Amino acid sequence: MTTRIGLTYDLRDDYLAMGWSEEDVAEFDSVGTIDALDSTISSLGYETDRIGTVRHLCARLVRGDRWDLVFNIAEGVGGRGREAQVPSVLEAYGIPYTFSDALVSAATLDKAIAKRLVADAGLATARFALIRAPEEVDAVSLRFPVFVKPNSEGTGKGIDGRSCVRSREQLALACGELLRRYRQPVLVEEFLPGREFTVGILGTDGDARVIGTMEIMVKDIGSDRIYSYQTKEECDSMVLYARLDAGDLKERTEGLALAAYRTLECRDAGRVDIRLDVAGEPCFIEVNPLAGLHPTHSDLPMIATREGMSYTELIDGIVRSALKRTDRDRSERAMPGCDHA
């Protein structure tokens, strides 16, 4: 019997049609991404079914629809737990899905919580403070310059040339603007001045492995030279991407990324962002457990391509990882003595 895989996602065009702004939908997916995923999963011999948003998922579940696996890339809408919405619903119905579970999805979207967990594991990350109100700026004891950004956003939202600040006065202005604009806490980190990398990882637990690392270099063409929302949206003209070759730096960068990925208990695949400090030591920035999957424009597929892994092989690896977890979990539940009253 053919394995039936549902696809959950948030489509940019749907939200733009409802009046959302381009920045509002920055994390959502294009029709091209969904088409590529659908055709690739189908080519692997699975039956696919496009579900869509968490609300569409709920309606289908109430109607009685079920799937052997859900390939979930839905970002969700509203609050720092939005990436946990689809996982939570699927867990309630006992339906397995790709990528991280609800707890990890929520914890990693909250950048401060992710950094605390990584730091508690003894892994390097920049010192930071969380600002929930303008008056808290006076208590910040970090070394300047510092870098400020919304605590629970992705795709560079809220990051621009004003994000790197060099005085307490500038910090107060930057935090005040972000608090008003995004209505969430602001993460303030000691600035990491070195090179920036993103590390692609495939697998779960002990099976997790690095597939490659890509350096991110913003071109000096009048931009802020920060990997911001603007530079990500115009990456073809504003950003250079390069494969990190073998050597000590690659080993240290990938070792930190894999340790952070495992510490945060990410599953199936994801990306870990790393930046070097003033001494050239890799430091954890954040993890994306729900990485973009456009074949040519998203970082994870770009990393895979540079390492000789095709898009089909990447998607196959993600599905196989999820199915392996599902089979193991079912076996463990079926073992005698595992039922608890």
Burial 236-271 (b: 16+ CB within 10 A, else e): eebeeeeebeeeebbebbbebbbbbbbbbbbbbbbb
pLDDT for 235: 74
Which is more confidently placed, 237 or 92?
Answer: 92
Output the CA angle 138-142-146, nearest 5 degrees.
100
pLDDT in tens, 109-168: 999 999 999 999 999 999 999 999 999 999 999 999 999 999 999 888 999 888 999 999
| CATH class of the 127-190 domain in this structure | alpha beta
The residues near 341 (Cβ < 8 Å, ≥ 6 apart) are none
* Residue 317, CA atoms < 13 Å, CB-side half-sphere: 23
Domain ranges of the chain: 4-97, 127-190, 196-324
Tokens of 323: 């199915």
Please give the model's pTM, rounded to 2 decimal places. 0.92
pLDDT for 334: 58
The residues near 30 (Cβ < 8 Å, ≥ 6 apart) are 11, 12, 13, 294
Burial 152-169 (b: 16+ CB within 10 A, else e): bbbbbbbbbebbbbeeee
Confidence of residue 341 (pLDDT cuts 50, 70, 90): very low
What's the chain's average pLDDT?
A: 93
pLDDT in tens, 284-319: 999 999 999 999 999 999 999 999 999 999 999 999
Query: What would the CATH number be for the domain defined by 196-324?
Result: 3.30.470.20
Strands 146-150 and 164-165: antiparallel
Taking residue 135's Cβ as centre, other Cβ atoms within 10 Å add up to: 9
Strands 186-190 and 47-52: unpaired
pLDDT in tens, 227-260: 666 666 667 778 899 999 999 999 999 999 999 9
pLDDT for 331: 62
Architecture of domain 4-97: 3-Layer(aba) Sandwich (3.40)
The residues near 246 (Cβ < 8 Å, ≥ 6 apart) are none
pLDDT in tens, 54-87: 999 999 999 999 999 999 999 999 889 999 999 9
pLDDT for 222: 46
Q: How far is CA 16 from the centre of its chain?
A: 22
